[in-house]
Amino acid sequence: MSESNDAFVRFINVQKSYDGETLVVKNLNLDIAKGEFVTMLGPSGSGKTTCLMMLAGFETATSGEIMLNGRGINKVAPHKRGIGMVFQNYALFPHMTVAENLAFPLQVRKVSKAETEQKVQRALDMVQLGHLGNRRPAQLSGGQQQRVAVARALVFDPDLVLMDEPLGALDKNLREQMQYEIKHIHESLGVTVVYVTHDQSEALTMSNRIAVFDDGVIQQLAPPPDLYERPLNAFVAAFIGENNQLHGKVVEIKGDDCKVQLDDGSIIHALKVNVDKVGDRTTLSLRPERVAIAPPEGQYPNVFEARVEELIYLGDHIRTRVSLCGTDEFIVKIPNAHAHASIARGETVQVGWAMEDCRALDAS
């Protein structure tokens, strides 16, 4: 607890309501360290953008306190917070050139003309647009506008930069490229970034930590590998990556190993995550790539007969839909490796998985 007290950004018991009847953000507590890249990830309406707007100062917290660098900022006007922000549709001022856009935050801070020019040029060079200073935003491509927006949010050397789904308007290739660029900028400048998105791959690529939002609550706050491999509840498991969900009842708990009886009667050995006692309903979460086809005898405690329903060739892997344990929506990813298992539709195969890969979560 002592280490989080000198956190750079702190949300302390923050609540937000627009209509006085429902809470959009329910009792949010979040500490962000200096230099960290934290992503708020969640479906639309989960409260993540509201949190960002409260941090930027465009929305006021209904209750609770937001701290920035040890100082409460609830009553500080947005323009005095010194937070850079990249908006969803860039919000580049259309009547100014790119260079004027970048100079704007420096001019309102009364930075000298020479220094302004130098900083603008440095920021433009940082995003590799040094030659486009005299263009209007409308003359730039989407990706270039995006870079200008990032440069503008950084040009006045803020300690904290907020990004509100900045890559939403770009096509897939450009989006991936920009993800790497933002990541590199973050690493080289050491600036703290709070990033909002609903795109999980974006979040996984860039973040130090991801806060998964749903229904105004942070469901899990963890680094990307933890989030993917060790989801704490059924929502996170379903929201991050693909996963097979099996529903059943706990019949025996032995240390971490918990035996679950599915609705069709089959018994599965799963890792106990958030089930309490025998008799609880539970959702089992299992990543499709952790399921093996025709595993060697005795390797896995969970081995079942499965009927192949559908095969979809996706290049790097083959997505296979099989029916087992009373569901026909069970997905297995077969990597397109040398000498991979070759199976055909309608066949019956053995599939198996380890106890640790099958997580017993809340009933959801």
Interface with another protein by CB under 8 A: which residues? Answer: 56-58, 77-85, 87-89, 91-95, 104-105, 108-109, 152-153, 156, 162
Quick one: 42 or 105, whose CB is closer to another protein?
105
Instruction: Give CA–CA dist 230/290, Å, rounded.
Output: 13
Closest CA relative to residue 337, chosen from 292, 287, 299, 285:
292
Minimum distance, C-beta of residue 330 to another protein, in the bound complex (Å): 44
Between 87 and 304, CB nearer to another protein? 87
Q: How far is the CB of 100 from another protein (least distance, A)?
A: 10
Residue number, 3 or 19, with CB nearest to another protein:
19
Q: Among residues 8 and 304, whose Cβ is nearest to another protein?
A: 8
Among the listed residues 66, 91, 63, the one whose alpha carbon sits nearest the alpha carbon of residue 8: 66
131/138 Cα distance (integer angstroms): 16
The least CB distance from residue 90 to another protein, in Å, is 8
Cβ nearer to another protein, comparing 1 with 77? 77
Taking the complex as a whole, the smallest distance from the CB of residue 94 to another protein amounts, in Å, to: 7
Total residues found in the chain within this entry: 364
CB of 171 to another protein, least distance (A): 21
Give the SS3 label for residue 247.
strand
Three-state SS for 226?
helix
Q: Which of 118, 127, 179, 117 is nearest to 153 (CA)?
A: 127
Tell the smallest beta-carbon distance from residue 18 to another protein (Å).
12
Provide, rounded to whole angstroms, the least separation between the CB of residue 156 and another protein: 7
How far is it, in rounded angstroms, from Cα 186 to Cα 201? 18
Residue with tokens 């969803």: 88
Answer whether 164's CB lies under 8 Å from 139's CB: no
Residues 197 and 185: their CA atoms lie apart, in Å, by 18
Q: Output 94 or 279, the one with its CB closest to another protein.
A: 94
Rounded Cα gap, residues 150 and 127, in angstroms: 8
| Nearest distance from C-beta of residue 78 to another protein, angstroms | 4
Q: Three-state DSSP class for 301?
A: coil
Q: Which is nearer to another protein, 20 or 225 (CB)?
A: 20
Cβ proximity of 74 and 66 under 8 Å: yes
241: left (phi over 0), alpha (psi -120 to 50) or beta: left
Of the pair 100, 309, the CB lying nearest another protein is at 100
212: its two tokens? 């998964």
CA distance 7 to 23: 26
